[in-house]
Amino acid sequence: MKVKDIFPILEELAPLGYAEDFDNVGLLVGSPEQEVSGILVCHDALETVVTEAIEQKCNLIVCFHPILFSGLKKITGKNYVERAVIKAIKHDIAIYAIHTALDNHQEGVNKIFCTTLGLENTRILIPKANYIQKLVTYVPIANTEAVRQALFGVGAGAIGNYDHCSFVSEGKGSFRGNEKSNPVLGKAGVEEVVGEHKVEVIYEKHLEGKILAALFQAHPYEEVAYEIYNLENALQNVGMGMIGELKEPMEERAFLEMVKEKTGTGGIRHSAFLGKPIQKVAVLGGSGSFAIKAALQQKADAFITADLKYHQFYEAENQLVLADIGHFESERYTKNYIVEFLSKKMPNFAVILSTVNTNPVNYL
């Protein structure tokens, strides 16, 4: 199996199209054509992890955080990023990063966080905007069903808990082919009027290539008439952070003690207790200060995230308990999930969980 053969499985785990614009995801180091001897899954692809990969005979590292983030102008080994990259290249080790592609996935980082805390009825905290597109195409009536099914087959027409969603209306299409044309209906040079269906479906942006390929395959015409629109609707199943409920309300201190125990953090910094029970909880693994407003709007009793600055604790506005449990700790089970996912998809392939602790933060 080559590195590029694993891309579709990694796409299934976390479509790279879900990643934020600022991010740097996908294959960062190495050749897609290289044969893979084994996969090592880690949180941060540091030099120590590359050494572990060599020892474990894994030449593909799948990491959560991208080791290359802001680009390199020199590669001399003067910092930890350059040293990791140099070592990987020297030993023919490829590095693939997932990051916000999995942050935004409904089964990803924040679902894992919610499950760790025992939250139920979970939904996305900040649904992803500008990610839905709409395809409109015109199909001779006899072919409508085949085209609809072909589009559904590659993921078009999914809305929340529903799939096979489409809208079909009837009308008349006209066309006249020139002397080079070879029309399926009618003759070149003669205007043809045909009873057609207008078929409308929505899909997630990253599926566009597959959707168009399926359309061209299933549609009978030599020239397929179609339109693509960007929709402003937010995508409810994809986005940053998550919110859910505890089965039973908990007293604030007991709740944070539970969070501490379940995430194994060395300490929690939190805003003032409000004397209110905690039941509705928002989470965002990693740096989540940008989501405080969303947690307030959703009337969360607590928002658990990381990397909060002094002034950001004020933003709790005495309406929720804001807690910083540590960046690594808020994402710590992500790599286990990746190993589980890849092992299920490739049962006969070595997928190894890194045992190197890459958390740079220590607690006294």
Q: Check residue 66 for interaction with Zn ion (CB under 5 A).
A: no
Query: Distance between CA atoms of 334 and 269, rounded to whole angstroms?
Result: 22
Residue 35: strand, helix, or coil: strand
For Zn ion, give the closer residue by CB, 105 or 280: 105
Half-sphere exposure of 238 (CA within 13 A, CB side): 24
Instruction: Name the closest residue to Zn ion (Cβ).
Output: 286
Residue 363 CB, nearest distance to Zn ion (Å)?
Answer: 18
> What is the total count of residues that contact Zn ion (CB under 5 A)?
1
**3-class SS shares of the chain: helix, strand, coil, % to 5:** 35, 30, 35
For Zn ion, give the closer residue by CB, 16 or 156: 16
- Which segment (167-175, 218-226, 279-287, 335-343) binds Zn ion by CB under 5 A? 279-287
Query: Distance between CA atoms of 139 and 272, rounded to whole angstroms?
Result: 61
Residue 65 CB, nearest distance to Zn ion (Å)?
Answer: 6
Q: Check residue 286 for interaction with Zn ion (CB under 5 A).
A: yes
Residue 286 CB, nearest distance to Zn ion (Å)?
Answer: 3
Q: Which of residues 301-360 bind Zn ion (CB under 5 A)?
A: none
Within 10 A of 56 (CB to CB), how many other CB atoms are there?
A: 16
Tokens of 62: 């799948």
**Contact by Cβ (8 Å): 61, 42:** yes
Q: Check residue 241 for interaction with Zn ion (CB under 5 A).
A: no
Residue 89 CB, nearest distance to Zn ion (Å)?
Answer: 24
- Which segment (128-136, 166-174, 224-232, 284-292) binds Zn ion by CB under 5 A? 284-292
Residue 360 CB, nearest distance to Zn ion (Å)?
Answer: 12
Tokens of 281: 């909880």
Q: Which amino acid makes up residue 170?
A: E
Query: Distance between CA atoms of 243 and 310, rounded to whole angstroms?
Result: 24
Residues found near Zn ion in the complex (CB under 5 A): 286
